[in-house]
Structure 1
Amino acid sequence: MSNEIKRVTGLLIIEAVNSNPNGNPDQESDPRVRDNGQGEISPVSFKRKLRELMELTEGPVYQTVTKELKDTHDDYSFGILESRGRNRKKISQEMGDIREYNENEFLQSEFVKKYWDARLFGNTFLEDGGHKGYIKTGIVQFGMGLSVSSVIIQRHTNTNKAGVQEGKNQGMAPLAYRVVQHGVYVMPFYINPSLAKKTGCKSYDVELLKRLIPYAYDHTRSAVRPDVRIRHAWWLEHQNALGSCPDYKLIDALMPKRKGDDPMTPSESWADYDVPNKLPQDLINKIANSKDLDLMDAI
């Protein structure tokens, strides 16, 4: 595997069917929606799915995506820093007194070697307690996912066979089941190799992300998110580290278009959209490689 990290422009086309792709805690876990009716999926939400899969080290996804990478990463590992219930004292010990580290020493620290998500996405942990470290912004940035059209939210009451508390709505949770009827979301992402030396990110960290993306929703389903599909996961590698084509041209060329006279009319199915299945030839000529990860053969 090459040690070179290439600049990448990516685009996820995500379909939500009677599901809540990203609940808003400020609105009782309603699906996130803008004032104009467009649905949202936050970058934090998507990255959380990736982290959860990597935390399940005995699971089939982790075992599959790390296959053949385990023997190529020297003494680096694929741990998750932004995990629930993390031991902050232990992490501080792994970091050591980073205020005294120079950049090279920091990149050789146990902290950098252990945490895959910190090397890839960056972290905010190093800002705590006045510590100033070297990993802040990672080489991978996911943008806000926005629905192409407005979305309709359905709210229903959840019930169970017996009430949890006697006399409390007889086992009902009013309006607790909140889902988007149908929506198609687009989420761009970018890989910037310029920051790799500051985060300690290696080419196999990026390769792992590439393998992991197609499983993000299929293997993290929940009661309110039973049917969220990655229809396309475009991975567009540039010809050089600086970039060989403007990001916006690649993204615009692959954007789904709502059929009909009003592009903001809520959709009912995938058939309501015109969705490109490849880049036009003039853009293909400007990049090194174009892959739809969700259509790749199983690893």
Structure 2
Amino acid sequence: MLLLFDITDGNPNGDPDADNQPRQDLETNQGLATDGSVKRKIRDTIALAAQAAGLDLSRYRIFIEAGESLNPRLEESYTANGFDLETAEDAEDSDTAAAKSKSRKGARKVLPAGDAETALAWLHNRYFDLRMFGGVLGTGNTPSLGKTRGPLQVGFARSISPITPEQHTITRVAKARQTEARHGEIGNKWTIPYGLYAVRLHYSASRGEKTGVSSDDLRLLYDTLIMMWDHTSSAARADMATQGLFVFTHPNAFGAAPADALLRLVTITPRDEQRPPRSFTDYEVVVDHAKVPEAVTLTRLV
């Protein structure tokens, strides 16, 4: 998949180590947005898309959420399937205070392979982001879960043209304390005038079968990639939109052509190299349909 999105007078993905300045390739000055920032938008929107589609929301919970601890969710995969978190040694001394304390602090029980697969399948069915993106699950008391490799891998987004970050000085009127009421405060805000970004997404059908990805999941993913900017906007990125979504479909899980060769069939170039782009219409998007293999189907959803 190739996703095109743009932003006007905003900051698509600030770098906290650089005073939240928009991320850049230091050699080409092209803008960057991390894979994590794109996946965060998907996570924050998928449940809303599932609700709008009338699907079972119990399959569209999100595992990685702000302010939530992961270990209790992982332990729930044991207890929900009747697997005891205590080790054999803890069970023998379960009526002693020391043993109970040890169990609470994290006895790392190793499950048989079949039981571990059951617990992992329970997590995949419950959390959309786990079955789609994967994750490290063998933490705390659940070492048997190991890690799961998701079928959808998201790359860094990169702007088509160099970007020009601008820093704006802002003043704060509202004060947190009465003692500050007579004093003004000054801050700053980073934006770019305009940026068109492209990000590659790779989906493995064979991995998707292992994690339980359904056709509904893929349909919701496409809907979310189109609409997610409307539901995750903020003062820093109020004007973002998906401008293109190209999906290459293969006849089988192995694939009929390398992903890189297919994605290079979509080219995006400025219409006027001498004029700084300020909208999507300043670019020309061309698809070389003649070079798309007969066995591959190219669908443009936006």
Structure 2: stretches of 5+ with no match in the other structure:
79-84, 86-108
Q: Which amino acid aligns with 2:111?
A: E
Q: Which amino acid aligns with 1:23?
A: G
Q: Deviations over 1:259-285 (max 9, x none)?
A: 4457xx853332332212x44133062
Cα deviation for residue 19 of structure 1 reads 1.1
Question: How far apart, CA to CA, are the structure 1 residues paired with 2:240 and 2:182?
Answer: 31
Percent identity, please. 24
Q: Deviations over 1:172-231 (max 9, x none)?
A: 3422x1111111111000101222344333333223212221111111110010111110
SS in 2 for 1:250: helix
Cα deviation for residue 241 of structure 1 reads 0.9
Cα deviation for residue 135 of structure 1 reads 4.0
Question: How far apart, CA to CA, are the structure 1 residues paired with 2:170 and 2:40?
Answer: 26
1:228 aligned residue: 240
1:14 aligned residue: 5
Query: Does structure 2 conserve the Cα–Cα contact (< 8 Å) formed by 1:164 and 1:171?
Result: no
Q: 1:172 to 1:267 in 2, by over 3 A?
A: farther
Question: How far apart, CA to CA, are the structure 2 residues paired with 1:169 and 1:188?
Answer: 51
Query: Does structure 2 conserve the Cα–Cα contact (< 8 Å) formed by 1:126 and 1:136?
Result: no
Query: Does structure 2 conserve the Cα–Cα contact (< 8 Å) formed by 1:79 and 1:114?
Result: yes
2:102 aligned residue: none
2:282 aligned residue: 272
Question: What value does the CA root-mean-square deviation take over the aligned residues?
Answer: 2.7
Question: How far apart, CA to CA, are the structure 2 residues paired with 1:22 and 1:151?
Answer: 13
Question: How far apart, CA to CA, are the structure 1 residues paired with 2:39 and 2:67?
Answer: 17
Query: Does structure 2 conserve the Cα–Cα contact (< 8 Å) formed by 1:107 and 1:200?
Result: no
Q: 1:63 to 1:125 in 2, by over 3 A?
A: same
SS in 2 for 1:215: helix
Cα deviation for residue 243 of structure 1 reads 0.9
Q: Note if 1:39 corresponds to 2:31.
A: yes
Q: Which amino acid aligns with 2:34?
A: S
Residue number among 111, 118, 138 corresponding to 1:100 in the alignment: 111
Question: How far apart, CA to CA, are the structure 1 residues paired with 2:222 and 2:126?
Answer: 19
Question: How far apart, CA to CA, are the structure 2 residues paired with 1:203 and 1:62?
Answer: 13
Q: TM-score, normalised by structure 1?
A: 0.80
Q: TM-score, normalised by structure 2?
A: 0.79
Structure 1: stretches of 5+ with no match in the other structure:
1-9, 295-299
Q: Note if 1:79 corresponds to 2:61.
A: yes
Query: Does structure 2 conserve the Cα–Cα contact (< 8 Å) formed by 1:18 and 1:182?
Result: yes
Residue number among 266, 274, 292 corresponding to 2:300 in the alignment: 292
Q: Deviations over 1:4-37 (max 9, x none)?
A: xxxxxx0011111111111111112111111021
Q: Which amino acid aligns with 1:91?
A: R
Aligned residue pairs total: 270
1:214 aligned residue: 226
Q: Deviations over 1:242-268 (max 9, x none)?
A: 111221222111131134457xx8533
Q: 1:169 to 1:179 in 2, by over 3 A?
A: farther
Question: How far apart, CA to CA, are the structure 2 residues paired with 1:266 and 1:169?
Answer: 43
**Greater RCO (CA < 8 Å, at least 6 residues apart):** 1
